[in-house]
Structure 1
Amino acid sequence: MKLTKTDFIQYLNCPKSLWLLKREPESYLHGEFSTFLQKITREGYEVERYVRDFFDADKNRAVSFQHVFETDAGLFARADVIEETADGGVVLYEIKSSTSVKTDAAHNHLKDACFQKICAQRAGQKIDTVYLVHLNGEYVRNGEIDPSLLLTFVDVTDRVAEIEEETAEQINQALVLLAEDVLERGGCSCLYLSRSHHCDTFRLFNPQIPKPSIYSLPRLSQKKRDELVADGIFDLLDIAEDYKLTPNQSIVVAAARAGAPIIDVKAIRAILSGYQFPLYFFDYETYASAVPLIDRTSPHKHFPVQYSLHVLHEDGTLEHHEYLEREARLPDRLLTKLSREIGPKGNIVSWHASFEKTRNKEMAELFPEFADLLSDINERTVDLEDVFKGAYVDARFDGSTSIKKVLPVLCPKLSYEGLDVQDGASAMDAWEKMISAAGEEAERRAEALLSYCELDTLAMVEIYRFLVAI
Structure 2
Amino acid sequence: MKSTGVRRGGTSAEVGCALSRPVPWRWKDAFRRPVGIRRDGRRVVRPGSATGECDRRAHGDRGAADAYDGVRSHPERRMRLSKSRFTAGLQCARLLWWRVHEPDAPELAPDETRQAVFDQGHRVGAAARARFPGGVLIDLPHDAFEQRVTATRAAMDGGAPAIFEASFVADDTFVAVDALERRPGGWRLVEVKSSTRVKTQHLQDVAVQVHVVRGSGVPVESAEVMHVNRACTYPDLSDLFARVPVLPEVERILPGVPGRLRAQLAMLGGDLPTVAIGLHCEEPYPCPFQGRCWPEWPADHVRRLYFVGKRSWELAANGYTSIDRLPDGMTLHPAAERQRRALRLGRRIVEPTLAVALERLVGPLAVIDFETVSPAIPVWDGCHPYDPVPAQFSCHAQEADGAWTHHHWLANDTADPRPELIRRLADACRGARTILAYYAPFEAGVLAQAALAFPKLHDPVQSILDRIVDAHPLVRDHVYDPGFNGSFSLKAVLPVLVPGLGYDDLPIAEGQAASRHIERMLFGDPPPHGAERRALRDALRRYCERDTLGVVRLVETLRTLAAGAAGPV
Instruction: Find the partner of 2:90 among 12, 15, 28.
Output: 12
Cross-structure match for 1:304: 390
Q: Is the 8 A contact 1:213 1:235 kept in 2?
A: yes
Cross-structure match for 1:386: 473
Instruction: Find the partner of 1:405 among 475, 483, 492.
Output: 492
Return 5+ residue gaps in structure 1 as ranges. none
**Is residue 424 of structure 2 the alignment partner of residue 337 of structure 1?**
yes
Cross-structure match for 1:230: 317
Instruction: Classify 1:212/1:312 alpha carbon distance in 2 versus 1 (closer, same or farther; 3 Å).
Output: farther
What is the rounded CA distance, in whole Å, between the counterparts of 2:280 and 2:188 in structure 1?
Answer: 38
Question: Map of 1:17-166 to 2, 5 A cutoff?
Answer: 17-23=95-101, 30=107, 33-56=110-133, 62-72=161-171, 74-85=172-183, 87-103=184-200, 108-142=201-235, 148-166=238-256
Deviates more, 1:51-60 or 1:363-372: 51-60
Q: How large is the RMSD of aligned CA atoms in angstroms?
A: 2.6
What is the rounded CA distance, in whole Å, between the counterparts of 2:441 and 2:284 in structure 1?
Answer: 22
**Is residue 409 of structure 2 the alignment partner of residue 323 of structure 1?**
yes
What is the rounded CA distance, in whole Å, between the counterparts of 2:241 and 2:449 in structure 1?
Answer: 23
Cross-structure match for 2:343: 256
Structure 1 residues 306-329: Cα deviation after superposition (integer angstroms, max 9, x where no partner): 100001346431111111111112
What is the rounded CA distance, in whole Å, between the counterparts of 2:251 and 2:457 in structure 1?
Answer: 51
What is the rounded CA distance, in whole Å, between the counterparts of 1:8 and 1:166 in structure 2?
Answer: 12
Cα offset for 1:182? 4.5
Amino acid at match of 1:69: F
Amino acid at match of 2:361: Y
Number of aligned positions between the proteins: 456
Structure 1 residues 389-442: Cα deviation after superposition (integer angstroms, max 9, x where no partner): 231012321211110111111112112113222122211222123233332222
What is the rounded CA distance, in whole Å, between the counterparts of 1:290 and 1:392 in structure 2?
Answer: 38
Cα offset for 1:6? 2.1
Amino acid at match of 2:308: L
Instruction: Find the partner of 2:304 among 208, 216, 225.
Output: 216
Cα offset for 1:272? 0.6
What is the rounded CA distance, in whole Å, between the counterparts of 2:194 and 2:391 in structure 1?
Answer: 23
Cross-structure match for 1:457: 548
What is the rounded CA distance, in whole Å, between the counterparts of 2:486 and 2:533 in structure 1?
Answer: 38
Structure 1 residues 349-378: Cα deviation after superposition (integer angstroms, max 9, x where no partner): 001111101001101111212212212211
What is the rounded CA distance, in whole Å, between the counterparts of 1:159 and 1:287 in structure 2?
Answer: 35
Structure 1 residues 174-204: Cα deviation after superposition (integer angstroms, max 9, x where no partner): 33322322533xx633367669965333342
Instruction: Find the partner of 1:351 among 416, 433, 438.
Output: 438
Cα offset for 1:343? 1.7
Amino acid at match of 1:174: Q
Instruction: Find the partner of 2:264 among 174, 182, 189.
Output: 174
Deviates more, 1:460-469 or 1:51-60: 51-60
SS at match of 2:81: coil
What is the rounded CA distance, in whole Å, between the counterparts of 1:195 and 1:100 in structure 2?
Answer: 17
Instruction: Classify 1:314/1:44 alpha carbon distance in 2 versus 1 (closer, same or farther; 3 Å).
Output: same
What is the rounded CA distance, in whole Å, between the counterparts of 1:166 and 1:138 in structure 2?
Answer: 35
Cα offset for 1:221? 5.4
What is the rounded CA distance, in whole Å, between the counterparts of 1:58 and 1:430 in structure 2?
Answer: 33
Structure 1 residues 140-186: Cα deviation after superposition (integer angstroms, max 9, x where no partner): 233xx75x4322222112222233345555444433322322533xx
SS at match of 1:306: strand
Amino acid at match of 2:409: Y
Instruction: Classify 1:243/1:192 alpha carbon distance in 2 versus 1 (closer, same or farther; 3 Å).
Output: farther
Deviates more, 1:56-65 or 1:376-385: 56-65
Instruction: Classify 1:135/1:385 alpha carbon distance in 2 versus 1 (closer, same or farther; 3 Å).
Output: same
Cα offset for 1:290? 1.1
Instruction: Classify 1:443/1:209 alpha carbon distance in 2 versus 1 (closer, same or farther; 3 Å).
Output: closer
Cα offset for 1:32? 6.3
Cross-structure match for 2:375: 289
Cα offset for 1:446? 1.0
Cα offset for 1:124? 3.6
What is the rounded CA distance, in whole Å, between the counterparts of 2:324 and 2:540 in structure 1?
Answer: 41
Q: Is the 8 A contact 1:289 1:301 kept in 2?
A: yes
Deviates more, 1:331-340 or 1:1-10: 1-10
Structure 1 residues 200-223: Cα deviation after superposition (integer angstroms, max 9, x where no partner): 33342232743442111123254x
Q: Is the 8 A contact 1:434 1:441 kept in 2?
A: no
What is the rounded CA distance, in whole Å, between the counterparts of 1:12 and 1:314 in structure 2?
Answer: 61
What is the rounded CA distance, in whole Å, between the counterparts of 1:158 and 1:417 in structure 2?
Answer: 51
Structure 1 residues 249-275: Cα deviation after superposition (integer angstroms, max 9, x where no partner): 2222222222212210x2111111111
What is the rounded CA distance, in whole Å, between the counterparts of 1:157 and 1:376 in structure 2?
Answer: 52
Cα offset for 1:22? 2.4
Return 5+ residue gaps in structure 2 as ranges. 1-78, 137-158, 562-569
**Is residue 463 of structure 2 the alignment partner of residue 376 of structure 1?**
yes
Q: Is the 8 A contact 2:363 2:432 kept in 1?
A: yes
What is the rounded CA distance, in whole Å, between the counterparts of 1:191 and 1:217 in structure 2?
Answer: 16
| Length-normalised TM-score, structure 2 | 0.74
Q: Which has the higher helix share?
A: 1
**Is residue 529 of structure 2 the alignment partner of residue 438 of structure 1?**
yes
What is the rounded CA distance, in whole Å, between the counterparts of 1:30 and 1:339 in structure 2?
Answer: 44
Instruction: Classify 1:15/1:385 alpha carbon distance in 2 versus 1 (closer, same or farther; 3 Å).
Output: same
Amino acid at match of 2:545: E
Instruction: Classify 1:121/1:395 alpha carbon distance in 2 versus 1 (closer, same or farther; 3 Å).
Output: farther
Q: Is the 8 A contact 1:190 1:199 kept in 2?
A: no
Amino acid at match of 2:94: K
Deviates more, 1:358-367 or 1:331-340: 331-340
Identity of aligned residues (%): 28
